[in-house]
Amino acid sequence: MTDKWAADVIVEAGRMRGVRPAQIMRRNQKRNPSYARMGVVYVMKEAGYVLADIAETLGMSDHTSALYSLNVAKRLRDEDPEYLAFTDELLAYALSIKPKADAEAA
């Protein structure tokens, strides 16, 4: 189940990292799709999604996969200025398109 907001965030992350949204939606060992996928996990968590919903949206096996991706994304934000800029830009985009009712609830 992918709602429109999450789908738009996935498309934007793919555009920013130069990968197709389908690559973000499936597990991949390549650097760009993996970075984009972890960025989407980080942004969805910051926007108020629970780990189970994030895992379901991205086709992960369970919420622990989403938790692992979230922890790696947080570590990368601390260590890599390029990744920090990517996630900050993606988060700003995601919050700008989030419907008002959802934004107030989160």
pLDDT attached to residue 1: 38
> For the chain, what are the domain ranges?
4-99
Count of alpha carbons within 13 angstroms of residue 23, beta-carbon side = 17
Question: How is 21-39 classified by DSSP, letter by letter?
Answer: HHHHHS---SHHHHHHHHH
pLDDT attached to residue 102: 54
Model confidence pLDDT, tens digit, residues 44-89? 999 989 999 999 988 888 899 899 999 999 999 999 999 999 999 9
- The yes/no answer on whether domain 4-99 falls in CATH 1.10.1750.10 is yes
Higher pLDDT, residue 10 or 104:
10
pLDDT band at 25 (very low <50, low <70, confident <90, very high): confident
Q: How far is CA 66 from CA 50, 52, 71, 81, 100, in A?
A: 10, 8, 9, 22, 26
**Whole-model pTM?**
0.84
Q: Using CA atoms, how far apart are residues 25 and 82, in angstroms rounded to an integer? A: 22
